[in-house]
Amino acid sequence: MSRIGWTLVATVAFGLAYSRATPTPERARFSVPPNAASNETSVAAYETSTASSGVTPSVHSASAVELGDGGIFAVWYGGSREGARDVAIYSAIYDPARREWSDESVLTTRADTARELDRTIRKLGNPVLAKDAAGRIWLFYVSVSFGGWSGSAINVKRSDDGARSFGPARRLVTSPFLNVSTLVKGPPIPLSDGGLALPVYHEFIGKFGELLYLDAAGAVNDKARISSGISSLQPVVVPADGSHAVAFLRRSGGSPARVLASTTVDAGRMWGAVAPTSLANPDAAIAAIRTVAGDTLMAFNDSELDRGNLSLALSPDLGESFRVVGSVDPPGAPSSGGAQRLSYPWLLQTRDGDFHLLYTWDRARIEHVRFNRAWLDSR
């Protein structure tokens, strides 16, 4: 082909790419419901139940969303042990009126994911749920084709029928280096354009947090770095309004042994320096949400050394200060005889004002704590 011919071909190619690259006119902001008084009773309420039903000996990393009928749809991964080939994503539904969980069932398996993605998959890991502005439920979960968790990539499934069924898995590409080492743990934040902001983290060479921006179709259209370096993981983003938010991060490796925090004033595109909060962190996952009253509720291990307790704390000022409310009651002594481990909390406030905390107990059960604002205020 002549030089003129190649010039024409290149012009068409760049024109095509440029038309695809044209940005949306306005950057999406966080979608935050206005503060509201809780409509619940003033009588303190606190109760516990178990979400998992013992189908698998090992369970971990629960996530949950409220369904349209007020039920709670929860997922976690379970199998013979973490990282085993039989690990699958399990789900169960909580009926708030009857105060009981359904039997758990398999939502997707390693083989399902391999078939849907047209590639081999070695193991499945952390699942995260989100409900978008259109009421669709998104399941993000990690899978590994080779190596350890640092080889993770994120997959996404979507349900358009209230979690009764999910479509096939699709791979999110989030890193230029073989697309490895991006994981999920924190809840996605709805965006003003109908999309989601998904907190993710990397743990290959560096350990740091990022925020992925997904459009309403679930395609990544931007990302921002929350932290950098080798000592912060698993960001949880709590928005105050459309622009302001704080990201709380699990500290990993470096001192001090505190929950870390960073703030943004432009809906997450730029983040400030990471600084320690007043809350302890033993290198363990945290959960945090913005309550309907506008303050921040966090679940965390109140220790610099271990995961032996799981505590709750309230902050009226986006993490500048905290009041530790107290610890949740674990279900009993672990069957292993060792020290108990309460880990990977997930917080949710449902439309009736109640709070729901899911967490992993001793890697054997997904425990559920339901409490209300009056209980928090009475502590």
The site for another protein (CB under 8 A) is made up of 3, 6-7, 9-10, 12-23, 114-115, 117-121, 145-146, 170-171, 173, 175-180, 202, 204-208, 210, 219-225, 228-230, 271
- Give the residue with the Cβ less far from another protein, 213 or 355: 213
Shortest spacing between CB 207 and another protein, in angstroms: 8
- Give the residue with the Cβ less far from another protein, 50 or 179: 179
- Give the residue with the Cβ less far from another protein, 13 or 106: 13
Q: Cα dihedral sign for 37, 40, 45, 46? A: negative
Tokens 């109760």 correspond to what residue? Answer: 47
Shortest spacing between CB 3 and another protein, in angstroms: 6
Shortest spacing between CB 134 and another protein, in angstroms: 21
Q: How far apart are CA 349 and CA 85, in angstroms?
A: 34
Shortest spacing between CB 277 and another protein, in angstroms: 20
Q: How far apart are CA 342 and CA 357, in angstroms?
A: 12
Return the closest-CA partner of residue 123 out of 156, 152, 92, 157: 152
Nearest 10 degrees: Cα torsion 313, 319, 321, 323:
-10
DSSP E strands in 215-309: the ranges are: 220-225, 232-239, 245-251, 258-264, 275-280, 287-290, 296-300
- Give the residue with the Cβ less far from another protein, 40 or 116: 116
Tokens 């949950």 correspond to what residue? Answer: 64
- Give the residue with the Cβ less far from another protein, 158 or 363: 158
Q: How far apart are CA 351 and CA 353, in angstroms?
A: 5
Shortest spacing between CB 174 and another protein, in angstroms: 9
Amino acid at 242: G
Shortest spacing between CB 8 and another protein, in angstroms: 11
- Give the residue with the Cβ less far from another protein, 122 or 379: 122
Buried b (16+ CB within 10 A) or exposed e, 244-271: bbbbbbbbbeeeeeebbbbbbeebbeeb
Hey, how many other C-beta atoms are within 10 angstroms of the C-beta on 201? 25
Shortest spacing between CB 329 and another protein, in angstroms: 39
- Which DSSP string do the residues of 192-236 spell out, in sequence order? TTS-EEEEEEE-SSSBEEEEEEE-TTS-EEEEEES--SBSEEEEE
Shortest spacing between CB 14 and another protein, in angstroms: 6
Going by the DSSP 8-state scheme, the letter that residue 329 receives in this structure is P
- Give the residue with the Cβ less far from another protein, 44 or 114: 114
- Give the residue with the Cβ less far from another protein, 117 or 133: 117
Contact status, residue 173 vs residue 179, Cβ threshold 8 Å: yes
Contact status, residue 181 vs residue 152, Cβ threshold 8 Å: yes
- Give the residue with the Cβ less far from another protein, 36 or 173: 173
As beta bridge partners, residue 296 has: 290, 315
Shortest spacing between CB 15 and another protein, in angstroms: 8
Going by the DSSP 8-state scheme, the letter that residue 102 receives in this structure is P
